Amino acid sequence: MQWYFVAVLLTILTSSQGILTTLSQSNGKYLYDYATVPFLAEVFKLLLSTLLLWRECRISPSTRVTTEWKSVRLYVIPSIIYLIHNNVQFATLTYVDTSTYQIMGNLKIVTTAILFRLFLRRRLSNLQWMAIVLLAVGTTTSQVKGCGEASCDSLFAAPIQGYMLGVLSACLSALAGVYTEFLMKKNNDSLYWQNVQLYTFGSIFNMVRLVLDDYRGGYENGSWWQRLFNGYSITTWMVVLNLGSTGLLVSWLMKYADNIVKVYSTSLAMLLTMVLSVYLFNLKPTLQLLLGTIICMMSLHMYFAPPNMLVDLPTQVRAAPENLKEVAVERRTDS
């Protein structure tokens, strides 16, 4: 399977995630506990990966599976990073509004590229660095509201703590992605076995989150397993399957492509979601969305196109030596 096919599929599924989540609401409210969706998505990924691993081991007995604890314990770290990241996200939203938070979230595009270069030692050309900056500018442009709106002033009105937490959130998101790519490419283990390890710890940490939510709420609505499927509809299950499928595609890209491909897929998915929302939810198209989309398309072409398609070098014409005539010049000197 080619990486660009997986990237396109990831873009489509990621863009439909926000739309499905909106459609799962009833009168603007969730009838289900939204915190149970990531948990069920992790369980879905774990079960499917286990099934695929079992099938792979039956077909190919030489499937590589590393079971030493010193290797398995490394898969705990991404779950811890994501847990910290989720708490930082909530803390950031106490200082900044939603629009500012979404715009600051584009910092993870640049921070991912920086950590990708520093920790994975992957060299990027100057054109690729320019393309990544353009991608961040394009996604930000598409999210900025009209300057005539009151919310436009709030972008630079947040306290310094909000911006610091926003930068920290972007760094944590990038770190989790880069570290996961490092794990996936660290050895030749089966992708499905690596997924089983990732999603086992992911399921455990999401379950811990549900338990903590019950504890903080004083068990007012009962324990989480008693209301696990309360309010679920067909659309809600589609949200769970969509979230689980995108996670599996991301792990495939981490194994056989890289973080930059994932960043482009998720960024373009955000633009696709905004464009589809214009038709599905009667949102008004804006000039910022049009300009942001054009900039992101230019960035995509600049990053992945061969250099000879980007730089039009003039052909050098060399004169044949036999066509040249030697001209003797006599210099007269006055006596």
211/205 Cα distance (integer angstroms): 10
DSSP letters along 108-175, please?
HHHHHHHHHHHHS-----HHHHHHHHHHHHHHHHHHPPPTTSGGGGGGG-S-HHHHHHHHHHHHHHHH
The whole-number pLDDT of residue 149 equals 52
Confidence of residue 335 (pLDDT cuts 50, 70, 90): very low
Confidence of residue 313 (pLDDT cuts 50, 70, 90): low
64/191 Cα distance (integer angstroms): 10
> Among 140, 178, 175, which residue's Cα sits nearest to residue 299?
140
CA 148 to chain CA centroid, Å, is: 31
Largest CA distance in the chain: 117
pLDDT digits (tens, 9 = 90+) for 140-178: 998 887 545 544 555 666 788 888 999 999 999 999 999
What integer best gives the mean pLDDT of the chain?
Answer: 87
Q: How many Cα atoms sit within 13 Å of 122 on the Cβ side? A: 15
CA 258 to chain CA centroid, Å, is: 11
207/330 Cα distance (integer angstroms): 95
Does residue 173 contact residue 301 with C-beta atoms inside 8 Å?
no
pLDDT digits (tens, 9 = 90+) for 8-19: 999 999 999 888
